Structure 1
Amino acid sequence: MVQVRPEIAYDCDVLVIGGGIVGLSTAYAITRAAPGTRVTVLEKEPGPARHQTGRNSGVIHSGIYYRPGSLKARFAVRGAAEMVKFCAEYGIAHAVTGKLIVATEREELPRLHALVQRGRENGIPVRELGIPQIQEYEPQVRGLAAIHVGTTGVCDFVGVARQLAHASGADIRYGAQVERIDRRPDLGVAVRTRAGEVVRARVLVNCAGLYCDEVARLTGDDPEMRIVPFRGEYYELARPDLVRGLVYPVPDPAFPFLGVHLTRGIDGGVHIGPNAVPALAREGYGWGVVRPREVAGTLAWPGSWQMARQHWRYGAGELRRSVSKRAFTTAVRRLLPAVTQDDLVPTSAGVRAQAVLRDGSLVDDFLIKEGPRTVHVLNAPSPAATASLPIGREVAKRALGMLGTA
């Protein structure tokens, strides 16, 4: 058992677990808000942003999809503007490109119109397009109607994470996997890493992403959710000239996934995806990566079975597109009829850390909870990279508030 003893000095004031963009943004926000605060970040990988941050489509989301007043809506709208400013200030590759959201079926038109209203409620500039205007933006894209969202962009989120790490001034320790946590509400928190290192802090911040629920349980808190990992599989377009910018389908509001979309990145390449299939490991970036303990943990959570019963039809379609390139191509051709199977080149996948409640509900908003001397970030998938600067400030505010009473 790791112990905190009153006569032993703290190694830091705030200890952050997780060196993804949210953890590093939190460290950055703490040192900006309270200079002199000692912050340590523990990251199990040999460098920053190795998982959700570095394995997404690189899109700076506008915030159009999210319920007005929600954390996602407020933080994404604010975060998109701040992310562009941050990238410009530090010379990080980025571009404000705008994007099209395209309806290809008549039954999608009411949902498209609802997005227009939602965008306006969130203060986002939205332009409605007919078929001729779609062709002006994207000559190869086909649809019945579309909207253009001007504040969407792309950037190098890994570059952002590295800059946050540098600018924070925090003590960042890579290759430091957390093994045990001993929290004493009257004394503080002590964390032992797999290498046997012990770090003592007054306040702990849990930004462990794919493992945030496990870290929460190590502190003794019940997160009342479980992370169920969903793999997002991508292809790269062999003929990138078919797409000028960013093209999205109209999403199904019942799911927190945006559907297979086309993204021209900062490198000029075009990524297509992702789909969303259950992963057989929290870092299961391919079907061959299986971790029985993690699979068993997912299956033991009642919410996993409830979710499967509620959404099996949707899941079956995603699985089909995962195992069949022909089916994936068919989905893409709804937006881009000129694409062929030969145009799709497999590329690296990502895994979404999706929080699922006991009743099977997919947590739709960012989820931040507090325990004694602890702040847990329990649901921060997309658009968390976009919203990372506001999220970091929110988590920092809570941690500093605890520090003031410690």
Structure 2
Amino acid sequence: MKYDVIIIGAGLVGLATAYESLKQNPALKVLILEKEGDVAKHQSGHNSGVIHSGIYYKPGSLKAKNCIEGYDSLINFSKEYGVKYDICGKIIVATSQDEVSLLENIYDRGIQNGLQNLEYLSRDEFKEIEPHCEGVRAIKVPQTGIIDYPGLANKIKELFIELGGEIVFSQEVTGITDRNDGITVETFKNEYLTEKLISCAGLYSDKITKMTNDKNDVIIIPFRGEYYELKDEKRYLVNNLIYPVPDPNFPFLGVHFTRMINGAVEAGPNAVLAFKKEGYNFSDFNFSELMNTLTWPGFRKIVAKYGKTGLGEVHRSLSKTAFTNALQKLLPEIQETDLVPGGSGVRAQACRRDGTLLDDFDIVRNGNVIHVRNAPSPAATSCLSIGKTISELV
């Protein structure tokens, strides 16, 4: 059978793209190919479960635009279809006077991105929200929330199938060929023909892109984020979400506290190089994938720029004491004995040959092929908006 659209990847972006495509044109034959046995098995199911507000992102960027639009779509969808969520708000805390100017920059970005009811809080004011937190100033972001992203993925899958869409699991893509009669997509098991192809392959987006574009100048570098959880009897230390002011010299948000939709409280993540694209444990290793990272010219430039900070992240990965010390900047009462090992996730971070880390969503089109090359956080929050944008390109 020839399909109108084949989508590679059943994470939230791939699912939302397929769903939005059929919503806009129910007559389409749409197929999702997924190498795992179910949806949302990687980034979409291993994230912190946060609904992001859009406060951090450069005004006018795809991240800012899709996060703001995707936020409303996500809330409306969750209300309509019973996906569990809670708009609980968060605080971003400056732990020293040196961070206050950076906090002000974040506030300004939020205003430029159209966020309303942001509040500057004094120490006494933010301690009314999070009594056990410490710092000098904070921003209250009322739009931030928490959600069941695996539940969201399963609901989108259900609706997509109801609309006539198809999903085939355990189908790892091994080749793509553009022919006169369409685009052939090969897997280890089968061969499929389509008019248009969209890849939403997450950690393997670079590998899929290279199947149609040998000159692709971007690779995915996998960064593992590891979490601890607060013991049940210590959950009272965190009411909702507590974030630090991010280090402007490092492309991640820093360790923070997140109340999950199931009531658990996560602490983390750090950000360390994974030795395998789906390396959720320190011992996970894939020689060819690691060498692909280490020999990439851009990676060596990242090491030169972020090496010292990166070593600190590795130290926190290996030392629970060091991890706890980082958490104590926000929550001084936290002790090592309050923490138990939690989950982990791997962030797909796109890197150019010159060492530039792509900060924005990156979607490229070549004829009838569209590749989502970079979709880090807040892609989960933005998934319905991204899906609509891509489906309109189709």
Q: Please classify the TM superposition score into its range, dividing by the shorter chain length.
A: over 0.9
1:7 maps to none
Separation (CA, whole Å) in 2 of partners of 1:384 and 1:220: 24
Are 2:231 and 1:231 equivalent residues in the alignment?
A: no
Tell whether the 8 Å contact from 1:223 to 1:378 is kept in structure 2 after alignment: no
Runs of 4+ in structure 1 deviating by more than 3 angstroms, as ranges, are none
2:140 maps to 148
1:341 maps to 336
Are 2:158 and 1:166 equivalent residues in the alignment?
A: yes
Separation (CA, whole Å) in 1 of partners of 2:62 and 2:214: 23
Separation (CA, whole Å) in 1 of partners of 2:28 and 2:54: 32
Are 2:352 and 1:360 equivalent residues in the alignment?
A: no
Query: Which of 302, 317, 326 does residue 307 from structure 1 map onto?
Result: 302
Query: Which of 104, 112, 135 does residue 103 from structure 2 map onto?
Result: 112
Query: 1:9-28 to 2 correspondence within 5 Å?
Result: 11-28=2-19
Separation (CA, whole Å) in 2 of partners of 1:78 and 1:103: 28
Letter in 2 for 1:230: F
Are 2:288 and 1:293 equivalent residues in the alignment?
A: yes
1:138 maps to 130
1:36 maps to 27
Query: Which of 248, 253, 260 does residue 258 from structure 1 map onto?
Result: 253
Could you give the per-residue CA deviations for residues 53-82 of structure 1, whole angstroms, max 9, x where no partner exists? 000110000000000000101111121222
Query: Which of 49, 71, 81 does residue 80 from structure 1 map onto?
Result: 71
1:403 maps to none
Letter in 2 for 1:222: K
Secondary structure of residue in 2 paired with 1:297: helix
Tell whether the 8 Å contact from 2:228 to 2:342 is kept in structure 1 after alignment: yes
1:404 maps to none
Query: 1:83-102 to 2 correspondence within 5 Å?
Result: 83-102=74-93
Tell whether the 8 Å contact from 1:281 to 1:295 is kept in structure 2 after alignment: yes
Are 2:204 and 1:205 equivalent residues in the alignment?
A: no
Superposed displacement of residue 253, structure 1: 2.8
The normalised TM-score by structure 2 is: 0.97
Letter in 2 for 1:162: N
Are 2:390 and 1:395 equivalent residues in the alignment?
A: yes
Separation (CA, whole Å) in 1 of partners of 2:134 and 2:146: 23
Separation (CA, whole Å) in 2 of partners of 1:248 and 1:156: 20
Letter in 2 for 1:13: D
Q: How large is the Cα RMSD of the aligned pairs?
A: 1.0
1:63 maps to 54
Superposed displacement of residue 274, structure 1: 0.6
Q: Which moved more, 1:240-249 or 1:168-177?
A: 168-177
Separation (CA, whole Å) in 2 of partners of 1:251 and 1:188: 46
Separation (CA, whole Å) in 2 of partners of 1:300 and 1:223: 16
1:248 maps to 243
Separation (CA, whole Å) in 2 of partners of 1:89 and 1:313: 47
Tell whether the 8 Å contact from 2:36 to 2:171 is kept in structure 1 after alignment: yes
Q: Which moved more, 1:245-254 or 1:145-154?
A: 245-254
Separation (CA, whole Å) in 2 of partners of 1:183 and 1:247: 49
Letter in 1 for 2:123: I
Separation (CA, whole Å) in 2 of partners of 1:58 and 1:134: 23
Secondary structure of residue in 1 paired with 2:45: coil
Letter in 2 for 1:163: K
Letter in 1 for 2:224: R
Tell whether the 8 Å contact from 2:250 to 2:306 is kept in structure 1 after alignment: no
Secondary structure of residue in 1 paired with 2:134: coil
The count of residues paired between Structure 1 and Structure 2 equals 388
Tell whether the 8 Å contact from 2:91 to 2:243 is kept in structure 1 after alignment: yes
2:313 maps to 318
The normalised TM-score by structure 1 is: 0.94
Letter in 2 for 1:132: D
Secondary structure of residue in 1 paired with 2:379: coil
Could you give the per-residue CA deviations for residues 239-290 of structure 1, whole angstroms, max 9, x where no partner exists? 1111000000001233331110100011111001111000000000011110
Could you list the runs of 5+ residues in structure 1 that have no partner in the other structure? 1-9, 401-406
Letter in 2 for 1:340: Q
Identical counterparts, % of pairs: 45
Separation (CA, whole Å) in 2 of partners of 1:330 and 1:206: 41
1:218 maps to 211
